[in-house]
Structure 1
Amino acid sequence: MPSRVLAVYDGSGIDGDLYTRVNRWAQSAPHWLDELIKVWSAFGLGLFAVFMVLAWWRARGADSAVMARVLASPVVVVVAYGVNSVFKGAVEEIRPCAQIHGSVALETCPGTGDWSFPSNHSVIAFAAAASLWFVDRRLGWVAGLFAALMAASRVWVGVHYPHDVAAGALVGLLVAVVLTPLAGRCGPLVDRMRAGALRPLLGAGELPLVGHGHSAYRAQQY
């Protein structure tokens, strides 16, 4: 018998009823709504790249630890994706659209070998949102909202069980929570990069406060 961490080949026993209910909603929903969710599910991850670019732009005037976390955010996403791939290979869960009779996928149902658990889309979206939260709380919350919409869309289009997207969200969050604060320790490296040819891209950052009490002020760059 092959050695595995888990061996959940048929996830329908976990929350197949909930998946079937959502799938029926999708089948009876207006065509425009299904198409909108289908497009979001297919291309929405690009929005998180836009969020990262926005975070970089705003971090040019922030301290070097913040910029270090911004620069690390794509790396965090890649690492989370790699960790998720290990789980996929260990579990090998069949897609619900291929497992549950009568289910309908709004996009092509992935074939054998493209396993369902956990959801890659959810991992990427939540890893990106969590890493951005350590940079900009408001941007992180906005990204988190869109991450939840991405996870929900994967169930709506019929290619994932609810537990697939929940597990994907958890993997993304855990990887980001562990790695992003560590990236902030690379501030001294960013300082050196800002002092060189990359300064136009990384910005000058903020200088420490000078003085005390009401007379304190932040030194300005000229």
Structure 2
Amino acid sequence: MDYLLGLDLSLYRALNQFCGSSPVLDRLASDSSSVIGPFFMGIVGALWFSSEKDTTRRHQTLIIMLLAVALSLVLNRVLSTFLPFRYRPMFSVGANAPGFEWHADLENWSSFPSDNATYLFAIAGCFWLISWRAGLLFAVFATYVSLSRVYLGIHYPADVLAGAMLGITVAFAVNSEIARKLVAGRVLVLESRYRTYFYCLFFIALAEVSGGFQVTRHVGVAIVHLFVPYGDTRHHSNPQPISSLPNAR
């Protein structure tokens, strides 16, 4: 175990050491999350409206993808809650910061496993079941976003790896024939009957999926803190901008 922890730390430092050395790399890393939505929606649109065969099965898989992402994030949160709390590397061992002031919305949650990697690779897994090209393309993109989190000191490599494995596992497990029949099949019936309302809700759901249900989670956290004061959480809280955090060099 000590060897694995040491390897994890070494890999983190090997990547984070470049942070702050190049404005281009810093921007590519810090802005990686901002392109998730357009990239995701573009692939979904291409797959949904494709003229290739098996239209029904493609649509079913994309509907199930919504369930897979939601379930993977729930399992991610369960694991992070019941496993020992892991401080993010920027708070525990220090991190090189970008050459500009940068704030990360970390929601004061445990670093392990990475929720970004979880939902992005759940999406990649579902895309793979439709088209291996689309799945591979999004997996490469998900790797870029996930490694950007390591580069910036938000996650250790093991956090990302565990999140990716969780997301892929859930994506493949949820895409069963039973789920296609009981969930996706019934949802697609609504598409034919109430087309306008269906696509209105579908696009809203896709927007939430592209951000890992960010708005939903923020609303949920706010509701929880109506009953549990913010000061009662066990999470690490640090309001400092990232540029003022300890330097790992």
TM-score norm. by structure 1 comes to 0.73
Is 1:80–2:59 an aligned residue pair?
Answer: no
Letter in 2 for 1:22: L
Letter in 2 for 1:68: Q
The offset of 1:188, in angstroms, is 4.9
- Structure 1 residues 34 and 111: CA distance shift in structure 2, 3 A: closer
Q: Which moved more, 1:148-157 or 1:58-67?
A: 58-67
Task: Tell whether the 8 Å contact from 1:48 to 1:125 is kept in structure 2 after alignment.
Answer: no
Q: Which residue of 2 aligns with 1:213?
A: none
* Cα separation, 1, equivalents of 2:30 and 2:131: 29
Task: Tell whether the 8 Å contact from 1:119 to 1:164 is kept in structure 2 after alignment.
Answer: yes
The offset of 1:74, in angstroms, is 1.8
Letter in 1 for 2:19: A
Letter in 2 for 1:44: V
The offset of 1:165, in angstroms, is 0.2
Identity across matched positions, percent: 25
The offset of 1:145, in angstroms, is 1.2
Which of 1, 18, 23 aligns to 2:11? It is: 18
Q: Which residue of 2 aligns with 1:198?
A: 195
Is 1:53–2:45 an aligned residue pair?
Answer: yes
Which of 62, 67, 70 aligns to 2:62? It is: 70
The offset of 1:112, in angstroms, is 8.3
Q: Once the two structures are superposed, what CA deviation does each residue of 1:102-159 show, in whole Å capped at 9, x if it has no partner?
A: x224443667842100111101110001011112222111111111111211111111
Task: Tell whether the 8 Å contact from 1:123 to 1:170 is kept in structure 2 after alignment.
Answer: yes
The offset of 1:198, in angstroms, is 3.1
* Cα separation, 2, equivalents of 1:121 and 1:191: 28
- Structure 1 residues 66 and 184: CA distance shift in structure 2, 3 A: farther
* Cα separation, 1, equivalents of 2:107 and 2:131: 40
Q: Structure 1 stretches of 5 or more lacking a match?
A: 1-7, 203-222
Is 1:44–2:35 an aligned residue pair?
Answer: yes
Letter in 2 for 1:185: K
Which of 82, 89, 110 aligns to 1:90? It is: 82
CA-atom RMSD in angstroms: 3.0
Q: How many residues align structurally? A: 190
Task: Tell whether the 8 Å contact from 2:113 to 2:162 is kept in structure 1 after alignment.
Answer: yes
* Cα separation, 2, equivalents of 1:112 and 1:70: 28
* Cα separation, 2, equivalents of 1:109 and 1:78: 22
Letter in 2 for 1:74: L
Letter in 2 for 1:141: L
Task: Tell whether the 8 Å contact from 1:110 to 1:159 is kept in structure 2 after alignment.
Answer: no
TM-score norm. by structure 2 comes to 0.66
Q: Structure 2 stretches of 5 or more lacking a match?
A: 200-249
Q: Once the two structures are superposed, what CA deviation does each residue of 1:39-81 show, in whole Å capped at 9, x if it has no partner?
A: 01x3233122432233222279634232111122122111111
Task: Tell whether the 8 Å contact from 2:64 to 2:175 is kept in structure 1 after alignment.
Answer: yes
Task: Tell whether the 8 Å contact from 1:116 to 1:164 is kept in structure 2 after alignment.
Answer: yes
* Cα separation, 2, equivalents of 1:120 and 1:177: 18
Q: Which moved more, 1:119-128 or 1:147-156?
A: 147-156
Q: Which residue of 2 aligns with 1:174?
A: 169
Task: Tell whether the 8 Å contact from 1:60 to 1:201 is kept in structure 2 after alignment.
Answer: no
* Cα separation, 2, equivalents of 1:93 and 1:49: 33
Q: Which residue of 1 aligns with 2:225?
A: none
SS at match of 2:19: helix
Is 1:34–2:29 an aligned residue pair?
Answer: no
SS at match of 1:58: coil
